[in-house]
Structure 1
C-alpha cells in the first residue's frame, strides 16, 4: 500500500509556455480541496537545490489563470544533472516535509524528475507544458494552442505587406525537433510551402513549388519554416532560394520568443486546469514517475519510457492537406 501523501510541491521548469499559470492554479487548488498542504518551488530545479520553497494557499494563485509565463519562474540547472545536486534538492524537500512533486515542463523536466525518482523514490508526476507539442502520450501539450494562434496572427499581418510589395517571406517558427507549430500554422495561414523536420522536402522541390505559384500569377508567397528543418534555418533557406529564384523580393521573419508570450487561449486554460487536477489525483492514487496526458478526451498516465523514447509524430493527413492546399 502506498504511503499517504500530505504535502505536495509544484514547480515549473524549462521553457515557459502559456497556460503554465493555469496549471499551477489547478494543482494548488486541487491539493487544498483534498486537504493537502501545497508548496511552490521557485526557479525550477535550481530553486529546489537552494531551498526557494514557499507554502501556497488558494489566494496565492488568484488572478493568474489568464497570465502568460509562470509565477513560479523557471531556470536551467546544471547542478541538478548531478547526483550531488539532486541530493541537495531532496534534503530541502524533506526539511519542508514535502512527500510528492508535481512538475510542469517538457522532456528535460521529465528526465530530471525521472532521475530524481529513481534515486529518492519520492512520488513524482509531470504535466506536459511545452509549446512544441512534441511529447507523445497526449494529444496536446500546454501552450501549443496559444503559440500556434500567435504564429497565425503574425502570418496574417506579414501577408498584408507581402501582397503590397510582391515579396516572398520566409517565416521561422519554433520547433527544433517537431513541426507541429509550423504545419498547423502554415495550413491556417495559407502558406505556399511548409518546411518541417519530419518532411524530406529539398530546395529543388521548394523552388519548383514557388515557380508554379509564379506561373499561376501569385503576387506573393509565404513559406513557414520550423527552426529544426533539415534544409537549415529560414535565413539559409531564403539565401539559397533567392540564388535560384530572383523573381521575388525575399524577406525573412524570425518569430522567436514572441511565440512563448501572451495570454493563454481558452483551450490552453482548460487543458492546463484539467491536467492540474489529474496530476494531484494521480499522485493521491499512487501514480508516480508518469506524465499526465489527455488522449481522445480520456485521461492517461504515461511512464517515462513510453514518453521519452518515442516521438509525437505529425499526422500524415496534416502533411497531405498542406500539400493539396498550397498550389
Structure 2
C-alpha cells in the first residue's frame, strides 16, 4: 500500500510545447486545492540530478496560462541515462521529501520515468507535451492544436506571395516520424499536395499532380511537406526536381522550423492542459503510477506509460481521403 502523497514534483522535459505552462499551473493549483505541497523541478531530469528545485503555490503560477514555452525550462539529460545520474536524482528527491512526479514531455521523458520507477519504485505520472502529436494513447498532445493554428496562419500569408508571383512553394513543417501536422494544415490551408512519412507519393507522381493542377488553371501552388517525408532526400531535392521538370514554375522553399513551437497556446490547449493536470494529481493521490494522461473521444483517460512509449500513433485515414478529394 503506497503511503499518502504529501508532496508532488512537476517538471517539463524534452522539446517545449505551448500548453506546458498551463499544465504546470494545473498541477500546482490542483495540489493547492487538495492541500498537497508542490515542487517545481527546473530543466527536467538535469535539474533533478542537480537538485534544482523551487517550492510552488497557487500564486507562483499566476499569469502563465497564456505563455508559450515552459517557465520551468526544459533540457535533455545524458546524465539521467546512467545509473549514477538516476541515483543522484533519487537522493535529491528523497532529501526534498518529494513523494511523486508529474513529468510533462514526450516519449523520451516517459522512457526515463519508466526506468526510474522500475529502479526505485518512485510514483510517476506523464502528461504528453509535444507539437508532433506522435504519442500513443491520446488524440491530442499539448501544443499540437496551437502549432496547427500557427502553421495555417503562416501558410495563408505565403499563399498571398505565391499567388502574386505565380510561384510554387514547398513548405516544410515539423513531423520527423508522423505527418499529423502536415496533413491537418495541408487540408486546412488548401494545399495542392501534402507529403507525409506515412504515404510515399513519389517524385514522378508529385510532378504529375502539379502538372494537372497547372492544366486546371492554377497559376500557383502550395505543397506542405512533413520533415520526415521520404519522397526526396530533403525538401530542397524536391525543389530541384520540380525545377527540372516544370521550368515554368518559380519554385521556392520555406522551412518553418522552430517558429512552430512558440506562441501563446490556443484555448483548446489551455483547457486540455488544465484537465490533464487535474487528472494526473488525482490519480497519484489514488495510488496510481506509470500512467500517461490523455484525451480519447474527448474524455480524459489514462494509458500505461510503456504503451504510450511503444505504441504508434495512427494517421487519420479519413483525412487522407478528404485531402485526396480536396486536392483534385
The yes-or-no answer on 1:105 pairing with 2:105 is yes
Which segment is superposed worse, 261-270 or 308-317?
Answer: 308-317
State the Cα deviation string for residues 288-320 of structure 1 (Å, max 9, x = none): 111101101222211123211121111101111
- Aligned equivalent of 2:31: 31
State the Cα deviation string for residues 258-293 of structure 1 (Å, max 9, x = none): 000000000000000100111101111122111101
- Aligned equivalent of 2:213: 213
Q: CA deviation at 1:233?
A: 2.5
Count of residue correspondences: 327
- Aligned equivalent of 2:129: 129
For residues 2 and 52 of structure 1, the distance between their equivalents in structure 2, rounded to whole angstroms, comes to 26
- Aligned equivalent of 1:169: 169
- Aligned equivalent of 2:273: 272
SS of 1:209's equivalent? helix
Q: CA deviation at 1:84?
A: 0.8
Q: Is the 8 A contact 2:114 2:306 kept in 1?
A: no
Unaligned runs of 5+ in 2: none
Q: Kindly report which structure 2 residues correspond to 1:41-56, keeping only aligned pairs within 5 A, or say none.
A: 41-56=41-56
TM-score, normalised to structure 1, is 0.99
- Aligned equivalent of 1:285: 286
For residues 31 and 57 of structure 1, the distance between their equivalents in structure 2, rounded to whole angstroms, comes to 8
Q: CA deviation at 1:3?
A: 1.7
SS of 1:71's equivalent? coil
SS of 2:191's equivalent? coil
Q: CA deviation at 1:245?
A: 1.7
Q: Is the 8 A contact 1:225 1:233 kept in 2?
A: no
Unaligned runs of 5+ in 1: none
For residues 294 and 165 of structure 1, the distance between their equivalents in structure 2, rounded to whole angstroms, comes to 43
- Aligned equivalent of 1:260: 261
> Which consecutive aligned stretches of 4+ in structure 1 deviate over 3 angstroms post-superposition?
none
- Aligned equivalent of 2:2: 2
Q: Kindly report which structure 2 residues correspond to 1:231-242, keeping only aligned pairs within 5 A, or say none.
A: 231=231, 232-242=233-243
For residues 246 and 118 of structure 1, the distance between their equivalents in structure 2, rounded to whole angstroms, comes to 59
Q: Is the 8 A contact 1:172 1:227 kept in 2?
A: yes
SS of 1:228's equivalent? coil
Q: CA deviation at 1:123?
A: 0.4
- Aligned equivalent of 2:302: 301
For residues 319 and 221 of structure 2, the distance between their equivalents in structure 1, rounded to whole angstroms, comes to 20
State the Cα deviation string for residues 70-122 of structure 1 (Å, max 9, x = none): 00000111010111111100111011000100000011110111111111111
SS of 1:156's equivalent? helix
For residues 310 and 102 of structure 2, the distance between their equivalents in structure 1, rounded to whole angstroms, comes to 21
SS of 1:176's equivalent? coil
- Aligned equivalent of 1:57: 57
SS of 2:64's equivalent? coil
- Aligned equivalent of 1:191: 191
SS of 2:177's equivalent? coil
CA RMSD of superposed structures (Å) = 0.8
SS of 2:90's equivalent? helix
Q: CA deviation at 1:323?
A: 0.9
- Aligned equivalent of 1:318: 319
For residues 3 and 239 of structure 1, the distance between their equivalents in structure 2, rounded to whole angstroms, comes to 63
- Aligned equivalent of 2:159: 159
SS of 1:302's equivalent? strand
State the Cα deviation string for residues 212-244 of structure 1 (Å, max 9, x = none): 011111010000000001123221211222222
For residues 240 and 38 of structure 1, the distance between their equivalents in structure 2, rounded to whole angstroms, comes to 55
Q: Is the 8 A contact 1:172 1:233 kept in 2?
A: no
For residues 43 and 84 of structure 1, the distance between their equivalents in structure 2, rounded to whole angstroms, comes to 18
Q: Is the 8 A contact 1:193 1:224 kept in 2?
A: yes
Q: Is the 8 A contact 1:102 1:279 kept in 2?
A: yes
